Amino acid sequence: MVKDISVVPEVHFLEQVLERIAQGELRVPKFQRPFLWRPEQMLQLFDSMERGYPMGSLLIWETTMPLESLDTIGGRRIPPAPEGAKVAYVLDGHQRLSTLFGVLHRSADAPRSARQEDWMWWVYRPLVRSEHDGVRYRHWKSGEPAPSHFLPMRSVLGTLDFLEYARTLSDVSHSREEADRLTKESERIAKRVKNYKVSVVRMEGGTLQQAIEVFSRINSSGQKMRPDQMVSALTYGTIGSETLSDKMEEIKGRIAASGFGEIPIMTIFQTVLALSGEEDVQRDTSWETMARKVQGQLMTAVEDTDLILQQVVEFLRQEVQVPLARLVPYNIQIMLLAVFFHFSDKVEAEQRVKLRHWFWTTSLAGTFAGSTTTQVRNFITEMKAFARGEGGLSYSAERARSFPERFDLRSARVRAYLLWDLQTFPDRKNLDGGTANVLEQLATAHSETYRHVITQSGVPGASSPANRIVMTTPPGVSIRQALIRLAEDGRTDILDSHGVSLASIEHLKSDEFTEFILVRQQELAARERQFIESLGIKSADKEVGEADIDTE
């Protein structure tokens, strides 16, 4: 018989709580989200402690039930849980305890470098008042030793470490008075930390599911967990020793390693939900209810998602010519394509043609901009019916949005333009005639790949895609100079590979910058419109329009 959960409020010295972590008796369960605090949040915690402010209660669950937990906390390895003993698991307070343990129990030989994963755990308290204002604590972002009057917080709980630091102060101080003053200040701070008391709410008994539900309800406020992390926690233990988040990270890594780049975790999560039979994939409330609904199908859905997303990537690459995940106009398109391939017994050639048409139409028309939960549910229902041969896709009446007047990759219309641009000009050449590897540059530099032709500020139309070129030039040679030189040398083959006409360059030669952009914009918009109409998609009434920043 399972004993009901009982709650016992207690007060402990912080030093005692951290020592339990060091002994492996107080642990962080794997269903917890990872360490997310920013460095400034870590400093604020220490500043609040010195000022005597409460840091909030910790909630722990004591049980003899074996539970998968982290073997590192705050960047430090901890020993395994004592065999057969009752172990406490942190349900609320992971970020705070990780910060305190990682800093105060830092070993003297722990890595020091300019990398954040190293310096974030080295927290110091400058002892000279002029060294701080506001938050009194500092990170030392270097592999070099910190100034001698910076008290390393790792030394305040260890008597020998603290005495060694005090001796250092005596050695480097200019006078006995200065050494005494700095030593007293360091002793005051150390005493603050050693005497700091923490409110601990200890739960005993109950089931793992009850403990997880307590955890999820606590995390519904404050620094919220992502929906995928919440459902991962609520379904912990239902799909093996790895959590749902672990498995989704594996899928994300596998797709990225294929060269397609990273698909957002939320897109993978929504795909898992959709393939498990859930259609409210964007709902942001009642995660406990959703978790209970889908947990029986999760293992199968995760495995299906792994396989189906590979088919989606192949379809996007081969049949739509989308080379990188970051160029997909709407992430919901990835999820809906996964729904199609999952629920279709046999994919007909005609369906593939319609899917390609659907992708381009919805991308150019902004179909999914600001989609509501109800609309997304309807999209999923429609895609399932289409996959089963029971209906069509209602997008044929959509009209493409205008050629974007601004180059902003947050706009789905701009990403659709780039997909057309990459297909239309696949063999761009640099000034020396060598091939420009656009995809390699896009995979790393993103928007910086498309360089400005006109760089002067205040030029009307300078933000247009028509003012962007993918070309590498020698030091000291601008894109504008390179284009003029190519025209003068008669290298129309290189100019054509970028869609730059001799007519537009005549304006460059005369420093008519706005006219150059306008002419090239008209030429690109006309070519893109031909492509749009060749697909049977209605073109926009207006040639050039605002590039909306889309949200899904």
d(CA 188, CA 248): 47
Q: What is the pLDDT of residue 223?
A: 47
Q: What is the pLDDT of residue 238?
A: 55
d(CA 441, CA 46): 43
For residue 73, give the H/E element and its range: strand 72-73
Is the sign of the CA dihedral 376, 377, 381, 387 positive or negative? Answer: positive
Tokens for 293, please give them: 């609904």
Tokens for 394, please give them: 């209602």
Q: What is the pLDDT of residue 33?
A: 73
Residues 357-370 have pLDDT tens digits of 999 999 999 889 88
Cβ-count burial 285-305 (b if 16+ within 10 Å, e if not): eebbebbeebbebbbebbebb
CA nearest 552: which of 282, 352, 338? 282
Question: Do the beta carbons of residue 183 and residue 169 sit within 8 Å?
Answer: yes
Q: What is the pLDDT of residue 1?
A: 46
Residues 194-210 have pLDDT tens digits of 999 999 988 887 776 67
Tokens for 232, please give them: 């991962």
Q: What is the pLDDT of residue 63?
A: 84
**DSSP single-letter state for residue 87:** E
Residues 406-418 have pLDDT tens digits of 998 889 999 999 9
Cβ-count burial 229-251 (b if 16+ within 10 Å, e if not): bbbbbbbbeebeebbbbebbeeb
Kindly report the pTM of this predicted structure: 0.67
Q: What is the pLDDT of residue 171?
A: 80
pLDDT one digit per residue (tens) for the chain, 552 residues: 446 677 888 999 999 999 999 999 999 988 777 788 999 999 999 999 999 898 888 988 888 877 778 899 998 999 998 877 788 988 888 999 999 999 999 999 999 998 999 999 999 999 987 655 677 999 999 888 899 889 999 999 988 999 999 888 888 777 888 888 899 999 999 999 999 999 998 888 777 667 766 766 665 544 455 666 656 665 665 555 567 777 888 899 999 999 999 999 889 988 988 898 888 887 654 555 556 655 667 778 888 999 999 999 999 999 999 999 999 999 999 999 999 999 998 888 999 999 999 999 999 998 898 888 889 999 999 999 999 999 888 776 678 999 999 998 889 999 999 999 999 999 999 888 888 888 888 777 666 788 899 998 889 999 999 999 988 888 989 999 999 999 999 999 999 999 999 999 999 999 999 999 999 999 999 999 999 999 888 888 888 877 777 655
CA nearest 190: which of 158, 216, 146, 149? 158
Other Cβ atoms within 10 Å of 356 Cβ, number: 16
